[in-house]
């Protein structure tokens, strides 16, 4: 079964790593792919064509408003429309908060968060225009990329984690706002071995140990692509506003912030009352979660 036959899919940051695997799997599932990457889209375009698929490359900067518009315009010029956008592009500038400078903060926020907004906004312009013209795009989809670092936290990645947490919130909000247009909006929080995870020694060691034990490579970025293809396809109808973690052969539905233990009174709280009440609420609350999913201690 071809989940995305003749669908037009724009994938940002698709020149290597997880994005490359997305592009190849969409092509295998029948999609026409726009491979966006500021550095090297051409090799992936050729790989797709060698598979018998259709693809074009784009070197536009998706964190720039006009650059993001150019990516969507290129898809429409080449293939007539856009059905799915996969916001995957990202960079790292890892530092602890006490050592991070404003340029390192801005660079990461710009690519991840602003880039997700810019490309999504241009795609939505196209979908709204088609809807108003009476020719709505079939099953429009946004698939965003969050991260366990954004959902659970990872020291040393305060810029990256903050951007990825914001993308998770963006996903929930956009799903609500775009429901009337029939746009499905979801996100993934993937874990895989790529150039961006090269310095995570503990994770690399765990992946190598599992590969040796089972023969399955849980760090292969190709493990992530099938979920993204499904979320970018018409088959995902009815699933929207969700963030999914995926690591190797494990998929889970991330649950948003929820109200935990609470105290209520029908008057303004005084500071001394809060001092007497809040520690007990915190004691009864579930602990925050570590990046590997276990409770923080």
Which one is catalytic: 32, 164, 203, 233?
164
The encoded tokens of residue 18 equal: 């997880």
17: left (phi over 0), alpha (psi -120 to 50) or beta: left
Q: Return the minimum-mean-pLDDT range out of 107-116, 187-196, 218-227.
A: 187-196
Cite the residue boundaries of each domain of the chain with CATH code 3.40.50.720: 8-254
Superfamily of domain 8-254: NAD(P)-binding Rossmann-like Domain (3.40.50.720)
Sequence-distant (6+) residues with CB within 8 A of 282 are: none
Q: Does the annotation mark 164 as catalytic?
A: yes
Which one is catalytic: 58, 63, 146, 147?
147
State how far the Cα of 142 lies from the Cα of 107, in Å rounded to an integer. Answer: 23
Per-residue pLDDT tens over the stretch 216-227: 999 999 999 999
Q: What mean pLDDT is reported for the chain?
A: 95
Per-residue pLDDT tens over the stretch 240-292: 999 999 999 999 999 989 999 999 999 999 999 999 999 999 999 999 988 87
Q: Does the annotation mark 230 as catalytic?
A: no
State how far the Cα of 250 lies from the Cα of 235, in Å rounded to an integer. Answer: 20
Do the beta carbons of residue 75 and residue 34 sit within 8 Å?
yes
**Exposed e or buried b for every residue in 58-78, given b needs 16+ CB within 10 A?**
bbbbbbeeebbbbbbbbbbee
Q: What is the pLDDT of residue 195?
A: 67
Per-residue pLDDT tens over the stretch 42-101: 999 999 999 999 999 999 999 999 999 999 999 999 999 999 999 999 999 999 999 999
State how far the Cα of 200 lies from the Cα of 188, in Å rounded to an integer. Answer: 20
Which of 245, 116, 255 has the alpha carbon at shortest distance from 185? 116
State how far the Cα of 205 lies from the Cα of 187, in Å rounded to an integer. Answer: 27
In angstroms, the Cα distances linking 272 to 73, 242, 282 are 59, 39, 16
Confidence (pTM):
0.94
Sequence-distant (6+) residues with CB within 8 A of 7 are: 26, 30, 31, 32, 83, 84, 138, 232, 233
**Exposed e or buried b for every residue in 202-224, given b needs 16+ CB within 10 A?**
ebeeebeeeeeeeeebbbebebb
Is the model's pLDDT at 123 over the cut of 60?
Answer: yes
Do the beta carbons of residue 193 and residue 220 sit within 8 Å?
yes
10 Å CB burial of residue 243 (0-12, 13-18, 19+) is buried
Which one is catalytic: 160, 162, 230, 233?
160
Longest dimension (CA), the chain: 70
Do the beta carbons of residue 218 and residue 248 sit within 8 Å?
yes
């Amino acid at each position: 079964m071809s989940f995305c036959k003749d669908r037009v899919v724009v994938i940002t940051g698709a020149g290597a790593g997880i994005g490359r695997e997305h592009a190849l799997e969409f092509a295998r599932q029948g999609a026409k792919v726009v491979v966006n990457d500021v550095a090297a889209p051409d090799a992936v375009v050729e790989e797709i064509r060698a598979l018998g698929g259709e693809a074009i490359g784009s070197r536009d900067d998706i964190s720039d408003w006009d650059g993001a518009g150019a990516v969507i315009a290129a898809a429409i010029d080449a293939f007539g429309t856009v059905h799915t956008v996969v916001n995957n592009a990202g960079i790292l500038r890892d530092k602890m908060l006490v050592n991070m400078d404003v340029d390192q903060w801005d660079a990461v926020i710009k690519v991840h968060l602003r880039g997700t907004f810019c490309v999504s906004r241009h795609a939505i312009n196209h979908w709204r225009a088609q809807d108003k013209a009476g020719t709505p795009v079939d099953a429009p989809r946004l698939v965003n990329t969050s991260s366990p670092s954004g959902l659970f936290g990872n020291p040393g990645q305060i810029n990256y984690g903050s951007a990825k947490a914001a993308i998770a919130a963006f996903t929930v909000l956009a799903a609500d706002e775009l429901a009337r247009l029939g746009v499905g909006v979801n996100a993934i929080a993937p874990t895989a071995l790529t150039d961006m995870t090269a310095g995570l020694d503990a994770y690399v060691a765990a992946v190598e140990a599992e590969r040796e034990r089972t023969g399955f490579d849980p760090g292969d970025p190709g493990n992530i692509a099938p979920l993204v293809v499904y979320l970018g396809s018409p088959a995902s109808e009815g699933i929207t506003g969700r963030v999914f973690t995926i690591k190797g052969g494990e998929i889970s539905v991330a649950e948003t912030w929820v109200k935990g233990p609470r105290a209520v009174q029908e008057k303004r709280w005084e500071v001394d009352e809060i001092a007497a009440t809040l520690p007990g609420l915190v004691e009864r609350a579930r602990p925050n979660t570590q990046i590997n999913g276990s409770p923080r201690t």
